[in-house]
Structure 1
Amino acid sequence: MASPAAQLPPGWAAEWDATNQRYLFIETASGHTQWEVPQGAPVVQDHQPGVSPPPVQHSKRRQYAAGQTQAYYGDALTADPTFGGGPQQQQQPVAGGQLFTPGLVGEQQFQAQQGQPPAPGQPAYYQPGQEPEYLNGPAAYGQQPQPGYAQAPVDALAGQFGQMGMGGGQKQFQLYTTNLLTSPPEPRELYRPPPEIRLPPNSCISPSPFANADPSYKRSTLNAIPTTSSLLNKAKVPLALIITPYRSLKEGEEPVPLVTDTVIARCRRCRTYINPYVQFIDGGNRWRCCMCNMSNEVPQLFDWDQVRNQPGDRWARAELNHSVIEFVAPTEYMVRPPQPAVYVFLIDVSHSAVQSGMVATATRTILENLDRIPDEDERTKVAIICYDVSLYFFSLPPGSTDPTMLVVSDIDDVFLPKPTDLLVNLAEARGALESLLGRINDMFQENSIVGSAMGPALQAGFKLMAPIGGKIMVLSSSLPSVGAGALKNREDAKVLGTAKESGLLQAASPFYKTFAIECSRAHVSVDMFLFSAGYTDVASLSCLPHYTSGQTYYYPAFNAARSEDALKFAQEFGEVLAMPIMLEAVMRVRASRGLRMASFHGNFFVRSTDLLAMPAVPQDQSYAIEIQIEESITSPFVVFQTAVLHTTCHGERRIRVITLALPTTSNLSEVFASADQVAIGTLFANKAVERALTHKLEDSRDYVFQKLVEILVSYKASMTSGGAGASAQLAISDNLKMLPVLVLGLLKNVGIRQSAQIPPDIRAYSQCLLTSLPSELLIPYIYPTFYSLHNMPPEAGTVGENGFILPPALPLTSERLERHGLFLIEDGQTIFLYVGRDAVPQLIMDVFNLPSYEVLRGGKTTLPILENPFSERVNAIIQKTREMRRGAYFPHLYVVKDDGELPLRLWALSALIQDRADVLPSYQQFVSSLKDKVNGIGGGY
């Protein structure tokens, strides 16, 4: 009897394993491959034998001509399956903002990582059982295979990705199940693109690779939207958007296209901006809204090229080809003329601020960065107010180089001592500003006053700029102690780790919220730079940035005498000064019929039900918005559109529009297969902090754990043969297999971790980061990166064809630590260089320029740059780690010795979240407790 392989349709190939009664592989006529398929199991479908295969689609774009409706429906709509979303769609090219992947940095990183594993040969300082011979410099280090780095699952994954959703007429998303008990976390999974967005044919009128939003601007927790709320509830996967509307640009990335002709086509009913997902009807004279189906007239000048003063090509318009677009706003979008950029610096000059070196470092940084402050139109205004228990204003007349100090000691009724020359034009008063910044530290050098009138200083800064709006930058070195907003030290070690601890994470004074709302109304944003050797009540002070779309930066135990402290602050403060900002911004998110924005997370003030007020939006700040399905969705795809009306810092009113289109599904397996674990992890971080502030820290942890359990229970009941009964496995879809370790990382993050040892300031600052960092920075913050440096591949630390090459990322467990090794652990905020106690002298010499491990000191450090290849590569990796992510953060570097100071060692090892630590479980224990919970036995983690 012929084997089943011989009975396949024409053009198919297979290899049959008679012993185990399964196919080793099946390859269809069009090249789809499926591995290890039991007889009778469903396989990837191909076109039927005897039926012609689908026609090859070409990428020629039809041009618009008056009266030719076909131009909008014919070949132009299906021209390129990559962008039209047909069954043959491939992965969309990324429109900038690629996440950095451990192992490779560059555009081709994802493809490269699915290919061959890193070369097995690596320079090694140590061969098991013997010390290495050190011959002719580092180039002669011995070779050894990398220990225990499994490649097979990734290669198998590559095969699975190749098959996903490729069977014509089959499901959009192919579901693969993973058993969490036998699949340890693979760090590279977190850096892969989210599940591919597979739109139905003809949904997009543009073949552009940029027609749908890049995940770095906007990503959804689900890339296939359930058609009913009951289906969403059954899946238990939250539905939300993660939005970073003002994402920074890295070198080589294209800027957001700008439409300058002020021809803005919007739906008359729902106010949606025209985008690549509308339809043109009536011979191209009208367009149908993709959200509410309203028919709208095409503006007369839409097809006119105003630059060349001739008819234009409609298909070439940026708003029909790009999902992220910016319009120059006409006058009807302005309540007043565009404001100039305004910066008011409030500098604490009390005794501790001067003695710590904060005042000298801050004034020097401002002075060195005056040219970087956005001022293209030379309208930028600047003021400097110093404060201790009094306020010190500075009059800076234009053309003068001799500023005058004016002292206001009445802090109960704050007034401006002079109506002019306090807020001055940066270009006109440059000389006086430079003179003042060079003298402030000397003026207050002998200041012995202890105390802080921060609240009155804020009121003074507000009065100065309220008519215009702008940004207040507060540099504070002590707890506000007098006047409005005065705070008391409420740090109490006995409360830490108890149910009352969450009270320390809430604002102690209503001043900071009510003042923030006043600021928001006047388009004033506040950034906080907090330095203190003691308690500074980050929880209260961070309310100001939270409600005014600012940011909090915290420098505990700052001392500028340590060059590392001065460098970190100067680097971050300089980046913030140079950062372009969106002024007097409002943001609204619209969605297709049946969807509603339900709740909002991030730094802003909700002005009405769905209008977010953001006085000055910094780059790379992220927002999470939860979505409800209010009624059944009948359309094959839905659209989410974010519009941010703002003034640029060079005085132009603009509208930034970000459009994301997603398919709909009534199939539960597609809901699971489309889930984006990174977006879900980002949402969970926001929800956890919200819960910690409104309830208790314990409730916050229980909430996140329970949400994960609900997803696993739903998956087990709906997608596995085990159903509702007990199971020996813990099943989850392959695209969600890193979600449990992300949740574990969140539960172990200092923002919500169970501990009686975390100071409230440290915890509150961590919560600020958890609710404002974009996913690209947040994911390493809750799941750090771990590299082995002593035996990294020879190409790691160098620049390759596809960009900078990082070492392969290791799972976060101390099992990977070796006593002779050198390791790097980093979370985007801190970098640890972990040195094993048996590290050979040559390694210590090559990296630290010291003779042996014994003389090496642990702690905050700057690594020397030495003239040997290994030092150059290690320094390059540290530099790239600091540079590669967006944002102003400049992580400190700590050397951690294997047998060094216990607190520092425990801090570094706490980043290895797959290990057991204190009362917190290891990953294996965590997954085991999840299994028990899913099977209906056992308590929490």
Structure 2
Amino acid sequence: MKACVAAFRPPSLDNFSCLTRGEPIQEHLEMADLDGDRLISDIKRNVSRPIAFDAIMRVRTSTGVRATDFYGHFFMSNTTDMELGTIDCDKGVALEIKHDDKLTEEDGVYVQVALLYTSCGGQRRLRVINLGLKTCSQMADLYRSCDLDTVTSPKPVKENLVNRCAQMLACYRKNCASPSSAGQLILPECMKLLPLYINCVLKSDAVSGGSDMTIDDRWFAMQAITIMDVPSSVVYFYPRLIPLHDIDVDSNEIPSPIRCSSEKLRDDGVYLLENGIYLFLWIGLNVGMEWVQNVFGVHSAAQIDIDRTELLEIDNPLSMRIRDLIEDIRIQRHRSMRFEMNVFQLTLVRQRDKLELVFKHFLVEDRGLDGSVSYVDFLCHMHKEIRGLLS
């Protein structure tokens, strides 16, 4: 019999969830009037989602490749089987596959994941997932076909991340790119954003949490990323910044995100920032009076009550569209948004208020308040590393 523990307690006090396929759920119930609703929501989600019990997962591969490393919340009593108290629709497992033999283009590579589990009805079942992958003999084809979202990993230490990124891009420049000036940075089409993602991982709370972070917050960040699926980890490291001041009230689509940089913020704009855990609404001081009136029920940004954690329910198309959009994002992320230690769900941030410093921490293309480099500076550093490897 295997047990699954979801830790509704201070993270630093409990490591059971890591070994039993549970998850850390950080709650701060010293402010029950604010955190109580989020706790109820998390518990409801925890017990109502599709789930499998007493599971064993094994990964098999075709000749020439093998699974070498496994990442996630589980227990391994041997080198092949991942034992999971439960597994549900919100979690993922990462594994690293290495090739240690010659591969031919004709044969390809095959990966099979078999999950033996008990259903909610008590039936013992087996689910098998097969994946067939093509191989190639030209390095250019490899770089052209890679999946950037699964290339980046938060596990390696900072130096190893930078070195591996530089080696990959230097290899492309040497073997695949057309001849060009040494001063020009050449990146594969499918990996143009790799330096950006690497810089975001380096600046994340899980890897570089500053001295202002508590042990509990750091532990929560480190454990949360180990069970995220690929879409969740991408938005966690590079948050979505969504402009709302020009939103189409007749559309049900989420507006296209913009680059996560303070240079993109307008004084007369309103932006929603989310990374799957935190949810901010930034309001410029010069946003239009009509927009503020429709959404907040006041005449100017200066009059907005930024202590609110939910928007007013005002009966007009713009207010309803904004509230629906926020709810859609919460549903996508499967859990209530939170912020810091005190406030849950939506956090209002007015331009030039003190809370704006916290908001800007998530503008990952900018230079960090802790001195971490901007994306542009990191790109220049990466270019220097690549040139050093090629010289």
TM-score range (shorter-chain normalised) is: over 0.9
Q: Could you list the per-position Cα deviations for residues 810-835 of structure 1 after superposition, in whole angstroms to 9, with x for gaps in the alignment?
A: 01111111112111111111111001
- What corresponds to 2:385 in structure 1? 933
In structure 2, the CA distance between the partners of 1:754 and 1:649, relative to structure 1 (3 Å rule), is closer
Contact 2:66 2:98 in 1 (8 A): yes
Q: Kindly report which structure 2 residues correspond to 1:514-593, keeping only aligned pairs within 5 A, or say none.
A: 522-530=1-9, 536=10, 538-541=11-14, 543-556=15-28, 558-562=30-34, 565-593=35-63
Conserved? CA contact 1:859–1:896, under 8 Å: no
Does 2:89 align with 1:625? no
Q: Hey, what does 1:711 align to over in structure 2?
A: 168
Give the number of aligned pairs.
381
Q: Secondary structure of 1:643's match?
A: strand
User: Which residue does 1:645 correspond to in 2?
Assistant: 116
Q: Distance in 2 between matches of 1:671 and 1:540?
A: 44
Secondary structure of the 1:847 match is helix
Q: How does 1:640-679 map to 2 (within 5 A)?
A: 640-679=111-150
Native 8 Å contact 1:740 1:927 kept in 2:
yes
Q: Corresponding residue for 2:294?
A: 846
Contact kept in structure 2, 1:792 and 1:807, CA below 8 Å: yes
Q: In the aligned structure 2, how far is the partner of 1:578 from the partner of 1:754?
A: 33
Mapped to 1, the partners of 2:294 and 2:249 lie a distance apart of 16
Residues of 2 paired with 1:784 and 1:702: CA distance? 23
TM-score normalized by the length of structure 2: 0.93
The question of whether the paired residues in 1 share the 8 Å contact of 2:258 and 2:264 is answered with yes
2:364 is matched with: 913
Is the 1:601–1:623 Cα contact (8 Å) retained in structure 2?
yes
Of the candidates 78, 86, 98, which is equivalent to residue 616 of structure 1? Answer: 86
Kindly report which structure 2 residues correspond to 1:780-929, keeping only aligned pairs within 5 A, or say none: 780-793=235-248, 795=250, 798-799=251-252, 805-859=253-307, 861-885=309-333, 887-890=334-337, 892-900=345-353, 902=354, 904-918=355-369, 919-929=371-381
Aligned equivalents of 1:525, 1:757: Cα separation in 2: 32
Task: Give the letter aligned to residue 16 of structure 2.
Answer: L
Q: Is the 8 A contact 2:266 2:284 kept in 1?
A: yes
| 1:648–1:558 CA distance, 2 compared to 1 (3 A) | farther
Shift of the alpha carbon at 1:705? 1.7
Kept in 2: contact 1:622–1:774 (CA 8 A):
yes
Q: 1:722 to 1:929 in 2, by over 3 A?
A: farther
What CA deviation, in whole Å up to 9, does each residue of 1:526-582 have, x standing for no partner?
11012xxxxx4x2451x21111111110024652222xx222221111110112321
Question: Are residues 889 and 675 of structure 1, via their aligned partners in 2, closer, same or farther at CA, if it must alter by over 3 Å?
Answer: farther
TM superposition score normalised by structure 1: 0.39
Residues 881/897 of structure 1: CA separation in 2 closer, same or farther (3 Å cut): same
Please list, as runs of the form range in 1=range in 2, the aligned pairs for 1:144-159 lying within 5 A after superposition.
Answer: none
Residues 5-55 of structure 1 show CA distances to partners (whole Å, capped at 9, x for unaligned) of: xxxxxxxxxxxxxxxxxxxxxxxxxxxxxxxxxxxxxxxxxxxxxxxxxxx
Aligned mates of 1:861, 1:792 — CA distance in 2:
21
Does the 8 Å contact 1:591/1:639 carry over to 2? yes
CA displacement 1:791-842 (0-9 Å, x = unmatched): 23454xx33xxxxx11121011111111121111111111110011122332
Question: Does the aligned pair in 1 maintain the 2:19–2:75 contact within 8 Å?
Answer: yes
Whole-Å separation in 2 of the counterparts to 1:547 and 1:718: 43
Give the counterpart letter for 2:21 in structure 1.
Answer: S
Q: Residues 182 and 387 of structure 2 are in contact (CA less than 8 Å); yes or no, is this contact kept in structure 1?
A: yes
Q: Secondary structure at the match of 1:913?
A: coil
Q: Structure 1 residues 806 and 674 mapped into 2: Cα distance closer, same or farther (>3 Å)?
A: same
Look up the match of 2:341: none
Q: Name the SS of the counterpart of 1:605 in structure 2.
A: coil
- Partner of 1:884: helix, strand, or coil? helix
Are 1:865 and 1:871, in contact at CA under 8 Å, matched by a contact in 2?
A: yes
Identity of aligned residues (%): 25
**Corresponding letter in the other structure for 1:595:** V
Larger radius of gyration: 1
> Contact (CA 8 Å) 2:71, 2:95: kept in 1 or not?
yes
Cα offset, 1:664, TM superposition: 1.4
> Matches of 2:336 and 2:136 in 1, distance apart?
40
SS in 2 for 1:552: coil
- Equivalents in 1 of 2:29, 2:55: separation in Å? 35
- Please report the RMSD computed on the Cα atoms of aligned residues, expressed in angstroms: 1.8
Code of the aligned partner of 2:108: F
User: Aligned partner of 2:48: which letter?
Assistant: A
Amino acid at match of 1:666: S
How far 1:858 moved relative to its partner? 2.2
Q: Distance in 2 between matches of 1:703 and 1:770?
A: 19
* Structure 2 residue 188 is the aligned partner of structure 1 residue 740: no
Contact 2:209 2:218 in 1 (8 A): no
The structure 1 residue matched to 2:65, chosen from 595, 598, 602, is 595
Q: Supply the distance in 2 between the matched residues of 1:727 and 1:556 (Cα, whole angstroms).
A: 53
Distance 2:298 2:121 in 1: 51
Structure 2 distance, partners of 1:640, 1:929, is 37
8 Å CA contact retained: 2:279, 2:337: no
Q: Which AA in structure 1 matches 2:58?
A: R
> Partners in 1 of 2:223 and 2:290 — Cα distance?
42
Asked if structure 2 preserves the Cα contact closer than 8 Å seen for 1:576 and 1:888, the reply is: no
Instruction: Find the aligned partners of 1:736 and 1:721 in 2 and give their Cα distance.
Output: 16
The 8 Å contact of residues 147 and 190 in structure 2, kept in 1 or not, is answered as: yes
Q: What secondary structure sits across from 1:559 in the alignment?
A: helix
SS of 1:883's partner is helix
Inter-partner Cα distance in structure 1 for 2:367 and 2:275: 19
Using the alignment, how far apart are the partners of 2:248 and 2:159 within structure 1?
41
Query: How much has 1:890 moved relative to structure 2?
Result: 4.4
Q: Which has more helix, going by share of residues?
A: 2
Matches within 5 A, 1:136-535: 522-530=1-9
Deviation (angstroms), 1:883: 1.3
Q: Counterparts of 1:628 and 1:646 in 2: how far apart (Å)?
A: 27
Letter in 1 for 2:8: F
Partner deviation per Cα, 1:641-677 (whole Å, 9 max, x = no partner): 1000000111110001111101111211111111100
Q: In the alignment, is residue 776 of structure 1 matched against residue 231 of structure 2?
A: yes
Q: Which amino acid aligns with 1:728?
A: G
Q: Which amino acid aligns with 1:920?
A: S
**Corresponding residue of 1:344:** none
> CA–CA distance in 2 between the matches of 1:678 and 1:654?
31
CA distance in 1, matches of 2:46, 2:295: 32
Counterpart of 2:342 in structure 1 is: none
